[in-house]
Structure 1
Amino acid sequence: MKHLLIVAHAPSINTCTLRDAAQRGASQDIVEQVTCTVKTPFEAGPDDIRACDGILLGTTENLGYMSGALKDFFDRSYYRILEEKQGLPCALYIRAGTDGTGTRRAVESIVTGLRWRWVQEPLTLRGEWQDSFADQVEELSLTLALSIECGIV
């Protein structure tokens, strides 16, 4: 069995919907050989990263940057896992009220330093809430889980 870690900052009803969609995507019946754990950035840490075969990050855009919670997760984990988890498959979704560019750039910079591998381009969910956002996150999570399961990442 392989393991997918979802680290999602979900301070609102809409971001909880996205987090739940991520879990649904990774837990679909067609994903048979991947288990999934969902944690907040404050709950997750280096041991969770060490135990996973892939990671999905979810954050809000806060003042043009990632959430403080996700930044805290990286601050507590970065140097402790830097040499251990190079090549870790990852994906990112951003709930951005306006742009999301600064948030994406900041997370990409950290992921580059960690030498993790993007399974696909980060997903930025911009503007007013749309129900389709949850479908997009579910598809992203399913893609990541199946990629891990099939060994294509």
Structure 2
Amino acid sequence: MNKSLLIVAHVPSPNTMALRDAVVKGASHPDIKEIDVVVRTPFEASAEDVQKADGIILGTTENLGYMSGALKDFFDRIYYPCLEVKQGLPYGVYIRAGHDGTGTKRAVETIITGLRWNPVQEEALICRGDYKPDFEDQCEELGMLMAAGLEAGIF
């Protein structure tokens, strides 16, 4: 039976859509065969999506030093329905930050700490400053890492 990787990403611009698509590309690598990739915006994603997931990748923009309102809305809706049943859920995070992204990272990690999810990366991926095509490579690697780790039973 395949495992499910949920990707919840706020994509208000072509650049953020390219980052989300890069995560999906990595998670859908042809060598990774036993992972079903489910892609939602924060407004589309539900507690049921999270409850079905074996892993989750969250993508957000930095908005005034905080996560996007869309991702905050997602957390508000899924927090209590998922609190007890999804402890230990492996997660990854990427942030598209025009500034430094530290406030956004702190805000996301504060909520995730409350949910008791487990990080698959040492630090959140923060794509800082002017847009660079290298950001897409980093996001693709994150997607591949998560999917391969889930498939191998590492996460």
The two structures share one fold, judged by TM-score above 0.5: yes
Are residue 135 (structure 1) and residue 137 (structure 2) matched? yes
1:14 maps to: 15
State how many pairs are aligned.
Answer: 153
Identity %: 61
TM-score for both structures, normalised by structure 2: 0.98
1:44 maps to: 45
* Structure 1 residue 45 displacement after superposition: 1.1
RMSD of the TM alignment (CA)?
0.5
C-alpha separation between the residues in 1 aligned to 2:125 and 2:143? 11
Letter in 2 for 1:78: Y
SS at the partner of 2:59? Answer: strand
Instruction: State the Cα deviation string for residues 22-71 of structure 1 (Å, max 9, x = none).
Output: 11010011111101011000000100001110000000000000000000
Which runs of at least 4 in structure 1 moved beyond 2 Å after TM superposition? none
Letter in 1 for 2:117: W
C-alpha separation between the residues in 2 aligned to 1:81 and 1:140? 23
- Structure 1, unmatched stretches of 5+, are none
Letter in 1 for 2:23: A
Are residue 35 (structure 1) and residue 36 (structure 2) matched? yes
- Structure 2, unmatched stretches of 5+, are none
TM-score for both structures, normalised by structure 1: 0.99
1:59 maps to: 60
